[in-house]
Amino acid sequence: MAGVVVCHGSAPVRDRIVAAAHGVPALAPVRSAASAEELLALTRRAAPSMVLLDAHLPGAGPIEAMRRLRETEAPPIVVMIAVTGDEITLDRAIALGARGYLAPDVDRSELAAVAAHSLTSSVVQQAPNGEHNGSHRPAERSPVELTRREMEVLIGMSHGRSNSQIGADLFLSEDTVKTHARRLFRKLGASDRAQAVAIGLRQGLIR
């Protein structure tokens, strides 16, 4: 398994993410697909380590694409490309094993951070019934303890909410949300929102 497949229905978005991924050595080689069918064809030829998957993927759609990926011999890590309003699709994708989400305007540094956290340790492979194959269980740090507010901020981030939107939801100022965000980043060892959400999902803090 090696490399990443950027699977997105929008050619401009797909091309931009591919260009950003080319600057991340851990993601090489970088390939692209415009539909679930193209993604599965690429995966059958050479299994990628990671798939960046459009939450609005045309054709079979993202959820069916994830189901088919889970049935392959070496299922890749899946990170969704999503925006605010995609919460239902994200919830379903996460239930199928997606590690988290990135915005369509993700930059090279965010991709590098996700690659560093997702690809440096072995992945827990799951059988179709959801049971772990124990021989592939990664050695992960014990889950951290977040305060209630930090958890609420992390959940808001996992739903694609901005700091100002999270503040409005929780009746907090944006500066207060930023303070909670900095603290949870420090506790999780994350450098940005995407990384924090990915770690939170991996440690079972959110789902």
Give the predicted TM-score (pTM) of the model: 0.60
pLDDT value of position 134: 34
Residues forming a β-bridge with 33: 7
- Which of 90, 110, 136 marks a domain boundary? 136
Assess whether pLDDT exceeds 70 at residue 136: no
Q: What is the reported pLDDT for 83?
A: 80
Closest to 193 (Cα-Cα) out of 49, 82, 54: 82
The total number of residues written for the chain in this structure? 207
Count the neighbouring beta carbons within 10 Å of the beta carbon of residue 20.
Answer: 20
Asked if the structure places residue 166 within a domain, the reply is yes
- Which distant-in-sequence residues (6+ apart) come within 8 Å of 91 by Cβ? none
Among 136, 161, 185, give the residue marking a domain's end. Answer: 136
Question: What is the domain extent for residue 132?
Answer: 4-136
User: Given this model, what pLDDT does residue 194 score?
Assistant: 84
Render pLDDT for 151-198 as a digit per residue (tens, 0 to 9): 999 999 988 888 899 989 888 888 889 988 988 998 888 888 888 888
Question: DSSP 3-state assignment of 125?
Answer: coil
CATH number of the domain within which 196 lies:
1.10.10.10
Highest mean pLDDT among 50-54, 80-84, 121-125: 50-54
Q: Is the pLDDT of residue 64 over 80?
A: yes
Q: What is the rounded distance in angstroms from the CA atom of residue 116 to the CA atom of residue 199? A: 11
- Residue 131, classified by CB atoms within 10 Å of its CB into exposed (0-12), middle (13-18) or buried (19+), is exposed
pLDDT at res. 27: 92
- The answer on 166 and 120 residing in a single domain is no
Question: Is the same domain home to 85 and 32?
Answer: yes
Confidence of residue 133 (pLDDT cuts 50, 70, 90): very low
Give the 3-state secondary structure of residue 91: helix
On whether both 96 and 33 belong to a single domain, the answer is: yes
Span 3-58, pLDDT tens digits: 999 999 999 999 999 999 998 998 999 999 999 999 999 999 999 999 999 999 98
Query: Is there a single domain that holds both residue 104 and residue 49?
Result: yes
pLDDT of residue 143: 59
| Residue that is last in its domain, among 78, 102, 136 | 136
Nearest to 86 by CA among 158, 163, 11: 158
Residue tagged 């309003």 (tokens): 85
The confidence score (pLDDT) of residue 120 equals: 55
Assess whether 180 and 94 both reside in one domain: no
Q: Which CATH number fits the domain that encloses residue 62?
A: 3.40.50.2300
156 and 87 inside one domain: no
Q: Could you give the dihedral angle defined by the CA atoms of residues 106, 110, 114 and 117, in that order, rounded to the nearest 10 degrees? A: -170
- Whether the per-residue pLDDT at 123 is higher than 50: the answer is no
Same-domain pairing of 8 and 104: yes
- Residue 98 contacts residue 72 (beta carbons within 8 Å): no
